[in-house]
Amino acid sequence: MLELPNHVTIKEVGPRDGLQNEHKEVPTEDKIAWINQLSEAGYKYIEFSSFVHPKWIPQLKDAKEVAASIERKPGVTYAALVPNMKGLEGALETNVDEVSVFMSASDTHNKKNINKTIEETYPVLREVVTEAKQAGKTVRGYLSTVFGCPYEGNIPVEQVIKVSRKLLDMGIDELSLGDTIGIANPKQVDAVLAQLKKQLSFDEIAMHFHNTRGMALANVLVSLEHGITTFDGSLGGLGGCPYAKGASGNLATDDLVHMLHEMKIETGLDERKLEEAAIFVQSKLDKALPSHHMQVLNKGGGVSNG
Amino acid sequence: MLELPNHVTIKEVGPRDGLQNEHKEVPTEDKIAWINQLSEAGYKYIEFSSFVHPKWIPQLKDAKEVAASIERKPGVTYAALVPNMKGLEGALETNVDEVSVFMSASDTHNKKNINKTIEETYPVLREVVTEAKQAGKTVRGYLSTVFGCPYEGNIPVEQVIKVSRKLLDMGIDELSLGDTIGIANPKQVDAVLAQLKKQLSFDEIAMHFHNTRGMALANVLVSLEHGITTFDGSLGGLGGCPYAKGASGNLATDDLVHMLHEMKIETGLDERKLEEAAIFVQSKLDKALPSHHMQVLNKGGGVSNG
């Protein structure tokens, strides 16, 4: 029999990881309204934007305005991504609760993404983490290409553990392990988590799956069996796949929540309010959201259709 | 660690269960060409059509012509669905290897579908099975709404076992258990299979999942852990969801094969040939096929993109 936890925490990355990969820019006031809807749906964690140069991600150029205007629901952690000290400075000018930093477990992917080797990235992130902690913020880390890199292929588990250890030792409070290109399969997740478990505390680990080949929920299931209880999701599957525009990318929070609730695992989230929030953000984009839930809904079904 | 089988058999139902749910009728010669491509891709089982009155399923009105013209690859079982004696008579006029019959585990769904109660259905199917066996054919049974009914909701496991036992005792060689409306969740599959295992031999059981809410591959994973090694698939996710047109329905064979191969489970299928066959049938329809594989492919990726 499956051994599953009773409660799972879902961290919503749609306003950041979702919107940064959408072609259409959502107006600031709509972002604010949407994030407020997400707070009302029961999330305890919302990554609301990224403090990154607008040249790179124009979709999120209003991070400061968003931070200033969203309603701060008690008990909710409002987080923002910061790529470097400049980003952190911007974030610290707002009342952000947590900042997140990112790097890759693959040297090539890291170089292509942030123009630094893994070794060169550590001191940059260490400074950001140290400053953030001194400012009283908690820090989250995203580690990408954990299950494979588009340039290097397989990434040895030892490498994942080494980089993870380094990041946690810097003072990062939680590390989100990303299947950046959506290639992880359940057997691999099982094998990787079995190794990681020996070296890391799963209290500090979240999983960030992509559904590019449809395996995300199967990978979640295996992770649950290993005792992982924190997962990232992007409402409606917002953001798509950066490597094949229009295909599934980020695991859709609504599909994840649905599976968990059907398995009697609590998330604290209200499926109907999630649906309303997904419909709202979809109406601000020029496309149908790709989650299975939204596919059914857009074709005439809905939450109650199971 | 996950305990998984080394080999899985995939039964392709796309030419029947897929095409019967597509709005557009595929010309007979294209069906024949497509089924021949499927044989070449390595399937050992193809359900090529249904002998049902064209008033009900006009898309499959050419079952006889298809049966007469497809190349019969040695080692492949070519099967057709027959709803009743009239259908069986049509099928027996061709050189079909196997026939399949169907009924529902839910009385209400059964009545809505074939206008008979479960009890009234048994003698009809018994006659079909007996005649088919006397004609030297093997028989497959489809049991629908195993994990829930759109009218009755939950279906007790005892009911599923009772109907399954009845069908197997008639002489049915394999029973395919269907999650007709795509609501099964992994915990439920785990619980149901744990019960079924006590009463039925899994050598006689196949699973037929729908991906309506994205859980099909997670459900496959749990089934594999229970020792199920036969699954139905519809290439490209052909057929969609009868309850929400345009949403995902039948589990896509290409997504299933991809997950299995990534987990080093053999299927005997050639992913590249499957892709060619999916591209071919997609070109004969007026829509993009919904499998994750085809989504990636249609957006510029392909098999090698993982």
pLDDT of B306 reads: 32
Contacts of B214 in chain A (CB under 8 A): 211, 214, 216-217, 252, 255, 259, 291-292
CA-based R_g, chain B, Å? 18
- The answer to whether residue A95 scores a pLDDT higher than 70 is yes
Find the range with the poorest average confidence among A246-250, B73-77, B243-247.
Answer: B243-247
Nearest CB to B183: which of A216, A293, A306? A306
Query: What is the DSSP annotation of B27-93?
Result: PHHHHHHHHHHHHHHT-SEEEEEE---TTT-GGGTTHHHHHHHS---TTPEEEEE-SSHHHHHHHHT
pLDDT of residue B304: 44
pLDDT digits (tens, 9 = 90+) for A13-47: 999 999 999 989 999 999 999 999 999 999 999 99
- B241, B257, B281, B294: the catalytic one is B241
Q: What is the pLDDT of residue B12?
A: 98
Interface of A with B in 25-54 (CB under 8 A): none
Q: Residue B243 pLDDT > 80, yes or no?
A: no
Q: Is the pLDDT at B204 greater than 50, yes or no?
A: yes
Q: Does B188 touch chain A (CB under 8 A)?
A: yes
pLDDT, residue B248, reads: 73
State ipTM. Answer: 0.95
Among the listed residues A222, A221, A248, the one whose alpha carbon sits nearest the alpha carbon of residue A237: A248
Percentage of chain A lying above the pLDDT 70 cut: 96
- CA B293 vs. chain centroid, Å, equals 19
Count of alpha carbons within 13 Å of A278, Cβ hemisphere only?
31
* The architecture CATH gives domain B9-305: Alpha-Beta Barrel (3.20)
What's the pLDDT band for A1 if we cut at 50, 70, 90?
confident
Helices assigned H by DSSP within chain A: 28-41, 63-69, 85-92, 107-114, 118-134, 157-169, 186-199, 216-225, 253-262, 271-283, 292-298
CB-CB neighbors (< 8 A) of B181 in chain A: 306
Contact of A299 with chain B, judged by CB distance below 8 Å, is answered with: yes
Region B277-304 average pLDDT: 87
Nearest beta carbon to residue B292 from set A4, A181, A214: A214
Query: Do residues A60 and A31 touch, judged by C-beta distance below 8 A?
Result: no
Domains in chain A: boundaries: 9-305
Q: Kindly state the average pLDDT of the residues A157-180.
A: 97
Residues A271-288, mean pLDDT to the nearest whole number: 95
Split at pLDDT 50, 70, 90, the class of A305 is very low
- Under 8 Å between Cβ of A156 and A107: no
Rounded distance between C-alpha atoms, residue B252 and residue A5, angstroms: 29
**pLDDT at residue A23, rounded to an integer:** 87
Q: How far is CA A247 from the centre of its chain?
A: 18
What pLDDT, on the 0 to 100 scale, is given for residue B37?
98
Summarised one tens digit per residue, pLDDT across range B159-173 is 999 999 999 999 999
**pLDDT greater than 70 at residue A301:** no
State the pLDDT confidence band at A245, using cuts at 50, 70 and 90. Answer: low
Instruction: Please list every residue in chain A whose beta carbon sits closer than 8 Å to the beta carbon of residue B259.
Output: 185-186, 213-215, 218
Q: Which residues contact B241 (CB under 8 A, 6 or more apart)?
A: A296, A299, B181, B182, B210, B212, B247, B248, B249
A216, B215 Cβ separation under 8 angstroms: no
* Helix, coil or strand: residue A99: strand
Q: Are the beta carbons of A262 and B4 separated by less than 8 Å?
A: no
**Out of A231-235, A245-249, B148-152, B223-227, which region has the weakest mean confidence (pLDDT)?**
A245-249
pLDDT digits (tens, 9 = 90+) for A179-228: 999 999 999 999 999 999 999 999 999 999 999 999 999 999 999 999 99
Average the pLDDT over B189-205 and give the result. 97
Read off the pLDDT band of A306 (50, 70, 90). Answer: very low
- Using a CB-CB distance cutoff of 8 angstroms, which residues of chain B are in contact with residue A213? 255, 258-259, 292-293, 296, 306
Q: For the ranges A24-28, A229-233, A274-278, B244-248, which has the lowest average pLDDT?
A: B244-248
Across chain A, what does the average pLDDT equal? 94
Residue A185 to chain B, least CA–CA distance (Å): 6
A114 in helix, strand or coil? helix
Q: How far apart are CA B254 and CA B270, in angstroms?
A: 10
pLDDT band (50, 70, 90) for residue B259: very high
Please name the residue of chain A whose CA is at the shortest distance from the CA of residue B219: A218
* Count of helices and strands (H, E) across chain A: 11, 8
Banded model confidence at residue B14, pLDDT cuts 50, 70, 90:
very high
pLDDT over threshold 90, residue B23: no
pLDDT value of position B302: 53
Q: Give the mean pLDDT of A72-88.
A: 97
High-pLDDT (> 70) share of chain B, %:
96
Which of A217, A221, A245 lies at the smallest CB-CB distance from B299?
A245
Residue B241 known to be catalytic: yes
Strand, coil or helix: A12: strand
- Window A:210-229, CB contacts with B under 8 Å: 211-218, 220-222
pLDDT at B305: 36
pLDDT at A242: 67
Mean pLDDT of B214-233: 98
